[in-house]
Amino acid sequence: MDGRHVLGILTRERIAASWSGGPQEQSSRPVRALLGCEQVPRVRQDTPLTRVAVLMLDAGCDAVPVVSGDGLFGLVTARDVLSAVAGRARPAAEPGEVVTGMFHLEPVLPHENPMGGA
């Protein structure tokens, strides 16, 4: 956030992808340096869930900030969308951890041995 403006969403994946050096070097990096320069889609509270899902798919993200005139209102995550589709969405009793956790997995093929083995 910069005042009432959302600058981006810092994810575990972005932190892992930018990791270099040890904990000492990482702890002194400003968050803004980790955000990247891509535009993060934003929605308002009255945005239909189907529109939020389309924005997530088009942007390749798994969390979208919900903004109001006062700034950040909350986040809609891929888990929230799946819960709603499954009929399990219910109001949170208290603020909790934001769980995105939609990962892209790619198979890693074994390296061929030039001596004839795998």
CB-based contact 63:77 (threshold 8 Å):
yes
Greater model confidence, 1 or 82 = 82
Model pLDDT for residues 46-101, shown as the tens digit of each residue: 999 999 999 999 988 889 999 988 888 888 988 889 888 888 877 665 555 555 55
The predicted structure's pLDDT at residue 51:
95
Q: Where are the domains of the chain?
A: 12-85
DSSP state of 13: H
Q: Which two tokens stand for residue 100?
A: 């995105």
Q: Is pTM, for the whole model, over 0.95?
A: no
Measure the CA–CA gap between 56 and 61, rounded to whole angstroms: 5
| Contact assessment for residue 22 and residue 47, using Cβ atoms and an 8 Å cutoff | no
Evaluate whether the domain defined by 12-85 bears CATH number 3.10.580.10: yes
- List pLDDT tens digits, range 11-50: 777 777 777 777 777 777 888 878 777 778 999 999 999 9
Q: Which tokens hold the place of 5?
A: 């403006």
Structural contact between residues 96 and 74, judged by C-beta atoms closer than 8 angstroms:
no
pLDDT at 25: 76
> In the numeric block, which tokens belong to residue 86?
């499954």
Closest listed residue to residue 57, CA positions, set 68, 38, 37, 41: 41
- CA dihedral 57→59→64→69, nearest 10 degrees, is -130
pLDDT of residue 96: 56
pLDDT (0 to 100) of residue 89: 77
For residue 43, the 8-state DSSP code is B
CB 83 within 8 A of CB 22: no
